[in-house]
Amino acid sequence: MTREPNSSLQQLAELARFPEMNPGPVVQLDRSGTILLANTAARTFFGRDTLIGLSWLDVCDTMDTAAWAGVLEQDERTSLEVERDARCVMFTHVRSASDQTVFAFGADITERRRAEHRARDQAAALAEVARFPDMNPGPVLRLDLAGCVLLANLAARRVFGAELVGRSWLDIAPGMTAEQWRIIVAATDIVSLEARVGDADFVFAHRRDHQGALVFVFGADVSAQKRAERALRQSDKLATLGTLAAGVAHELNNPAAAARRAAQQLGETLVMRDAANLALSAVTLPNPSSSGNPEKASTPKPPIMVSPEAVIAPPMRFDAVAIASCGLKPRARSSQ
């Protein structure tokens, strides 16, 4: 008879110790929300030496009047998450059979929340990676080894049309041949192809992925570069034409200058000739009949010869001394 009360007391003691053995926070509340009991884990989590007598609505940050009314009225269990000091605990509220008290059982879900945060971060990173081709301003395509388009970014769809998936790259890319595709599939380095699509010029770089048995195509719009190259070639042609024109003008200027100099010299020669003629016209040859010497009269005087050098030489001054040295005498001027 004496063992039964001791056994009952021992069971009650074990039941009293049961909340303390729980690694998670456990709190007993009355219907007004006042804390009746709290185990060590609860006191440690909330950072208080004692919780008895405090209002659960003040202690639990996420509990408010509406949520507490739901705990008392709803048949379903109500769960709330509370974060403190980098820990996250979910409290599940269970009403007692007498419906006079409420138990709040806490479970540490910190690691689960961290895992969820990591999963969300990874999902966001994957989403950014998935968006990366669409952020590329140039066409980006993924092909299988047969040349079938598997994926295409927004720029590629703008260039080649919306329906790209499933089409053959050999039919889409201008200038792509079966022989070139075989070279791309067998290549270990990048193979580039220049093509004109509409009014734009593109360079498509093909990279073979030997691990995934895929071919990636990265396009770049080089229309501005091509226009600059064409303008540069045109300027080179104009520069060459200018050089040729300058050379022709130089070759034409040389004969013209020679002709100009010859004309100038000819004019000077004519002036000197006229001066010589005027000088000669002023000279009178002696009359042989008036000298009284028949021998001299019978011997004719040789004609005066004027050499070409004298014609083109500078004008000479014919004074009396020069005329007398030639055996000539000046013509007598008329008194009139």
C-beta separation of 103 from 131 below 8 A:
no
pLDDT recorded at residue 248: 76
Low-confidence ranges of the chain (pLDDT < 70): 1-18, 250-253, 284-336
pLDDT recorded at residue 233: 85
pLDDT recorded at residue 276: 83
pLDDT recorded at residue 51: 94
CA distance 143 to 173: 12
pLDDT recorded at residue 295: 53
pLDDT recorded at residue 312: 46
pTM (two decimals): 0.44
pLDDT recorded at residue 5: 56
- Under 8 Å CB-to-CB from 95, ≥6 apart: which residues? 71, 72, 101, 102, 103
- Number of neighbours of residue 253 by Cβ within 10 angstroms: 11
CA distance 316 to 309: 12
pLDDT recorded at residue 316: 47
Q: For the chain, what is the mean pLDDT?
A: 81
Helix (H, G, I), strand (E, B) or coil at 274: helix
pLDDT recorded at residue 313: 47
